[in-house]
Amino acid sequence: MKVLGISAYYHDSAAALTINGLTIAAAQEERFSRKKHDASFPTNAIKYCLDHQATSPHQIDAIVFYDKPLLKFERLLETYYSFAPKGLFSFQSAIPVWLKDKMFLKRQIKTELKAIGFEKIPKLLFTEHHLSHAASAFYPSGFKEAAILTIDGVGEWATASICYGNDRSIKVLKELKFPHSLGLLYSAFTYFLGFKVNSGEYKLMGLAPYGKPVSTQVQLFEEIILTELVDLKEDGSIFLNQTYFTYTTGLRMVSDKQWQKLFNMSRRLPDTKIELVHCNLALAIQRVTEKVVQKMAVEAKKLTNSENLCLAGGVALNCVSNGKLLSKKLFKNVFIQPAAGDAGGALGAALATEHIYFNQERVYPKKSDKDLMFGAFLGPSFSEKEILAMVNKYEAIGFKVSYHSIYKTVAEALNSGLIVGWMQGRMEFGPRTLGCRSILADARDPQIQKKLNLKIKNRESFRPFAPSVLAEDANKYFDLTSPSPYMLQTQPVLKERCRKKPDNYYEQPILDKLYFERSDLPAITHIDYSARIQTVHKETNEHYHNLISAFKALTGCSVVINTSFNVRGEPIVCTPEDAYSCFMNTEIDLLVIGQYLFHKKDQPHWSRGSNIKSPSILD
């Protein structure tokens, strides 16, 4: 059985192909279109999925969309009716779009599919949004049964759900419904603190540790949130005081004037200076988020009595919250879907269709596999011929060498303070780069965070970098109780590796705190002495594991910086051409694509789109 899953028309559109319960291919449209968070129909992602498996459109048994648009339309109408006469302008903006396109989504999907070669449209199905999230986590987890917790902004009506999965079935036990939403609450603070909603939430999470942990102001902010904005119940359900929110009827998340009065501070405008008060407010909402998630998890445990937990939905990408939850040890085993946001909904929709609609038997992981995401390496890979095509186009100068030489050369480059663009094998599915589309650097270098942020990534200086560590050595560096292959949990750096904070540490300006050497791995140790950890496993990513092993043999250190191979405002690179372009437009020193090495000093003058007639690879 072959099922194609699709998510689209909100943000992070994607496609996924499953065959007999196994995920064969999955990718976000943005990686092909080069439009960050592309919401358009995933034409390129679908083509990739079909091409990867040499599958013709007529071989697809069903196509499934990740939510139900008519239920969303029902929610839209009921919401405007409930809040009328508020929201007239927003209503006038939204309704024509729905009447023109979204009300007739089935027709639109069929039109798009025919344009890419589907002469006859197979069975077209629609799953509920939170079922797609739940299925995306449960079926690949490898658990025969599990509690499933999904939390995001909003699907059709649900904003969070607790489900119980048992073999092929998923049963909804409890739902939180719009307009009460932890995801939307976090997005409201994302907006108020000057970041972009639906893409800047991870920046808010990264800013929170700059707040003063023991602070009257942070405590006051928490109290305001939990008394004026949020009514938090023991089961984790929340009720948001809609007096302070405008997302139901307006074009913004909140009223700036109301929140200014509530928190006694103005909304921070994008790209303006960040003050301690902004950090303290970020810390307050992060703490509230952690409290809510933990209460929901306790309720999931109570309702299911399961030892296993699966997490999905956009809030499941909050790795700080995940780390706190894992440390509570409420569940023996926890699986977090690496593509936990809307992109992963395409995969969940396909798997739900296979196992629930068609009653397809589940596949369980082999002993050598921890789960059925296969390291999340589900995107395209590129052949030597395609690398040479890039070389021809840009007159790139490079060398083909053995992988043994690749590991040794890159290890030496990192040890010398160089920055390396690293492209190997299949592209990652989800927002995290996991060692196949990565920028690498030496975590021991105290200057490297500044260089990476300002000269490579072109992003805010406060943003932390994540470590990749050999799985077998992780406990030598981090207080980690379970593997973290998908970089989805934050845990403390071991105390013996940390340096004592100055007495006035939290009163210092942000950049002074940032550049204080907090441990012997200063480039990956965040302000609160934590790190967002990726454990690297030889069985899922042999080349990356071998590279870090070579670095360890040279330096004694099993940790490298791993940040996504892109610059601010662009998606992670997909093709050799994307990789070379990013390499040449930044101060990356060395580029590795497969077995090919490109040194920056050897490259011709950079001119996008240049072409030559013969290869420049030196074998």
Among 221, 228, 191, 231, residue whose Cα is nearest residue 283: 221
Do the domain assignments include residue 600?
yes
Would you place residue 98 in the very low, low, confident or very high pLDDT band (cuts 50, 70, 90)?
A: low
Higher pLDDT, 364 or 463: 364
Identify the pLDDT of residue 247: 86
Do the domain assignments include residue 272?
no
Would you place residue 83 in the very low, low, confident or very high pLDDT band (cuts 50, 70, 90)?
A: low
Q: What does the pLDDT look like over 252-285, one tens digit per residue?
A: 889 999 999 999 999 999 989 999 999 999 999 9
Q: Measured at the alpha carbon of residue 283, what is the angle toward residues 281 and 289, in degrees to the nearest 5?
A: 105
* Torsion of Cα atoms, 406 then 410 then 412 then 418, to 10°: 150
- Looking at mean pLDDT, say which of 83-87, 88-92, 104-108, 388-392 comes out highest: 388-392
Do the domain assignments include residue 4?
no
Reply yes or no: is the peptide bond before residue 85 cis, omega within 30 of 0: yes
**CB neighbour list of residue 104: distance below 8 Å, 6 or more residues apart:** none
Tokens representing 93? 């903006």
pLDDT of 516 over the 90 cut: no
Terminal C-alpha separation, the chain: 44
Do the domain assignments include residue 604?
yes
Higher pLDDT, 404 or 83: 404
Identify the pLDDT of residue 87: 56
Higher pLDDT, 282 or 97: 282
Do the domain assignments include residue 491?
yes
Q: What is the mean pLDDT of the chain?
A: 92
Rounded to whole angstroms, the Cα distance separating 170 from 355 reads 9
Q: What is the mean pLDDT of residues 93-108?
A: 70
Q: What does the pLDDT look like over 392-429, one tens digit per residue?
A: 999 999 999 999 999 999 999 999 999 999 999 999 99
Do the domain assignments include residue 289?
no
Give strand pairing partners of 163. 148, 172
The string of DSSP letters for 556-573 reads: S--EEEEEESS-TTSPPP
Q: What does the pLDDT look like over 471-482, one tens digit per residue?
A: 999 999 999 989
Lowest mean pLDDT among 323-327, 509-513, 587-591: 509-513
How many angstroms separate the most distant Cα atoms in the chain? Answer: 71
Tokens representing 7? 């998510």
Question: DSSP assignment, residue 605?
Answer: P
Contact between residue 295 and residue 232 where contact means Cβ atoms under 8 Å apart:
yes
Rounded to whole angstroms, the Cα distance separating 15 from 29 reads 8
Do the domain assignments include residue 610?
yes
Q: What is the mean pLDDT of residues 516-531?
A: 94
Q: What does the pLDDT look like over 179-190, one tens digit per residue?
A: 999 999 999 999
Identify the pLDDT of residue 84: 60
pLDDT of 312 over the 50 cut: yes
Would you place residue 332 in the very low, low, confident or very high pLDDT band (cuts 50, 70, 90)?
A: very high
Rounded to whole angstroms, the Cα distance separating 32 from 29 reads 6
Domain of 446, CATH number, reads 3.90.870.20
Q: What is the mean pLDDT of residues 531-545?
A: 97
Q: What is the mean pLDDT of residues 226-244?
A: 97
Would you place residue 80 in the very low, low, confident or very high pLDDT band (cuts 50, 70, 90)?
A: low
Rounded to whole angstroms, the Cα distance separating 499 from 168 reads 50
Would you place residue 463 in the very low, low, confident or very high pLDDT band (cuts 50, 70, 90)?
A: confident
Tokens representing 509? 């300006």
Measured in degrees and rounded to the nearest 5, phi and psi for residue 398 equal: -150, 175
Tokens representing 547? 């590279």
Identify the pLDDT of residue 86: 64
Among 401, 397, 374, 414, residue whose Cα is nearest residue 547: 414
Higher pLDDT, 247 or 313: 313
Place of tokens 């306790």: 298
Residues in the chain: 619
3-state SS string over 189-222? Answer: HHHHCCCCCCCCHHHHHHHHHHCCCCCHHHHHHH
Among 122, 150, 126, 131, residue whose Cα is nearest residue 64: 126
Do the domain assignments include residue 400?
yes
Q: Provide the domain count of the chain.
A: 1
Q: What is the mean pLDDT of residues 153-157?
A: 91
Identify the pLDDT of residue 412: 98
Q: What does the pLDDT look like over 561-597, one tens digit per residue?
A: 999 999 988 999 999 999 999 999 999 999 999 999 9
pLDDT of 619 over the 50 cut: no
Identify the pLDDT of residue 159: 96
Contact between residue 241 and residue 230 where contact means Cβ atoms under 8 Å apart:
yes
Show the domain range for 584.
Answer: 384-618
Helix/strand/coil for 19: strand
Q: What does the pLDDT look like over 142-151, one tens digit per residue?
A: 999 999 999 9
Identify the pLDDT of residue 369: 79
3-state SS string over 468-504? Answer: EEEHHHHHHCECCCCCCCCCCEEEEECHHHECCCCCC
